[in-house]
Amino acid sequence: MNIKEKMKPAFRKLEGGLFSSVEKADVGDALSDLQKRGVALMSWADPFAPDPSIPQIVLDKAIEVIKSGFPAHYMMPIGSLDLRKAVADRLNRKYGITVDPARNIIINPGSDIGLMFAMTPFIGDGDEVLVHDPSYPSNFLNAELLGGVTVKVPTYEEDNYHLRIEEYEKRLTPKTKMVLISSPNNPTGTAYTRKELEELSAFIVKNDLICVSDQAFEDTVFPEHEMVNIATLPGMWERTLTVCSVSKGMGLSGFRVGWIFGDDVIMDVLHGAAVNIQGATSTMAQMAVLPAMENDDFIQDYIVKYDNRRKYAYDVFNSTPGVSMKMPEAGFYSWINISKLGNSSEIVKYLAQEALVNCNDGKYYGEQGNGHLRLIHGAFWNDEDCFAAIDRMGAALKKLAISNGIS
């Protein structure tokens, strides 16, 4: 019996590393093998990993709630009302919007499931979803898993990967149903400007499309750039679902707490489907993150660290022959162009060997990702550990450039 033939076509193609060696950072045992060899893992978008980094206010609260015994029990699948209230207040402080915590927010176990959930009511049989390229790989796959079609919209290095609306217009068909935007973008660190999001919104409204805004990195925008929530732009509220979490900005990826907010007509459906699609979020984690939702000042210290690190990476890589990178506008990762030095898959392997650093092969982030590496410079608590890894990478890439006759 060929069990795969009984599966939906998009699922048949998936490989998790059980029967083949899979190089992607997020599947299989490849990472633990590298770790055993003493390689610095800088390929998971997980702030400060693997070092301890729970903010004190969250740690204290987590201990208190565990001791209370209450977290042995479920919270409602739509999430704790206290947390939804705190999210609503934070949305007001962050974007100046007023939402009803009882109607416009749902808590979930992080934005990976949040993104899938947000698309599920809309996407099926052949529906097309426009996704900028490069993008977070799951954002290319979700539509396909739902039976839809992902249509990649190129963005270009020379624009620092900002959007060209004409590229969206060129790909519009009668089947286009949704625009998915990762704002700010992983892996390019692009923080989309108000102007370009206004242009994108006008395109979405004019063509009566749905928008899913993946804002996993919304808290990581550097001060010289603006974080704009596309749902707040004219005509967008009733057609946008915004997906967020505590993973990236607060550095609490292991807590698995996220939220979706949007208009109550859509949210009523998500509330109705919550138990089937996302289940309930950890009670302990929801209670523990509450103080961070009420006071997230500690994120400013993280931004200072990321700012130093992006500048360090920028200096090292841009002074390495054959290598270049743009200054990230958000996030804690460097998007490095190594196309002059060779094939990115081979260079990832070479760097693990030569520099003892594991970074990501850009090809997983879309057609525009070829010839690039993504390095999580947000890894490790101490800046020195990060700088040392960047230095080792710079030296290894320089050696490669020299052996290729590039200086």
Ligand X SMILES: Cc1ncc(COP(=O)(O)O)c(C=O)c1O
Q: Which residues bind ligand X (CB under 6 A)?
A: 45, 110-112, 136, 182, 186, 214, 216, 245, 247, 253, 258
Distance between CA atoms of residues 194 and 228, nearest Å? 6
Q: Is 349 helix (H, G, I), strand (E, B) or coil?
A: helix
Nearer to ligand X, 45 or 274 (CB): 45
Q: Do residues 148 and 154 make contact, with C-beta atoms less than 8 angstroms apart?
A: no
Torsion of CA 37, 40, 43, 49, to 10 degrees: 120
**Cβ closest to ligand X, residue 149 vs residue 180:** 180
Tokens of 294: 């009420």
* Closest separation in Å from C-beta 57 to ligand X: 20
Cβ-Cβ contacts under 8 Å for 189 (sequence gap 6 or more): 310, 326, 328, 329, 330, 331, 333, 334, 335
Q: Specify the residue, 258 or 394, whose C-beta has the smaller distance to ligand X.
A: 258
Least gap, CB of 125 to ligand X (angstroms): 25
Cβ proximity to ligand X: between 244 and 316 the closer is: 244
**Residues 102, 81 contacting (CB under 8 angstroms):** yes
Give the strand pairing for 105-108 and 258-262: antiparallel
Nearest distance from C-beta of residue 214 to ligand X, angstroms: 5
In 155-295, which ranges are E strands? 176-182, 210-214, 240-245, 258-262
Report helix, strand and coil shares of the chain as percent, to nearest 5.
45, 15, 40
Please give the Cα distance from 246 to 244 (Å, whole number).
7
Q: Which residues contact 144 (CB under 8 A, 6 or more apart)?
A: 10, 150
Residues facing residue 173 across a β-bridge: none
Q: Which is nearer to ligand X, 182 or 320 (CB)?
A: 182
Closest CB to ligand X among residues 281, 320 = 281
Nearer to ligand X among residue 247 and residue 278 (C-beta): 247
Min dist CB 249 to ligand X, Å, is: 10
Q: What is the DSSP letter of 104?
A: S
Beta bridge partners of 108: 258
Least distance (Å) from ligand X to the CB of residue 406?
A: 32
Cβ atoms within 10 Å, residue 371: 18
Least distance in angstroms from the C-beta of 101 to ligand X: 20
| 36: helix, strand or coil | helix
The minimum distance between CB 248 and ligand X, in angstroms, equals 7
152: β partners: 131
What's the min distance (Å) between Cβ of 139 and ligand X? 7
State in angstroms the smallest separation of the CB of 108 from ligand X: 9
Q: Which is nearer to ligand X, 288 or 341 (CB)?
A: 288
Whole-number Å distance between alpha carbons of 246 and 346: 34
Taken in order 248, 249, 255, 257, is the CA torsion positive or negative? negative
To ligand X, the closest distance from the beta carbon of 216 in angstroms equals: 3
Q: Which residue's CB is nearer to ligand X, number 120 or number 182? A: 182
Q: Is 188 helix (H, G, I), strand (E, B) or coil?
A: coil
Given the complex with ligand X, which of 61 and 374 has the nearer CB atom? 374
- Asked if 389 contacts 34 with a C-beta cutoff of 8 angstroms, the reply is no
In angstroms, give the least distance from the CB of 335 to ligand X: 13
The smaller minimum CB distance to ligand X, of residues 309 and 398, is found at 309
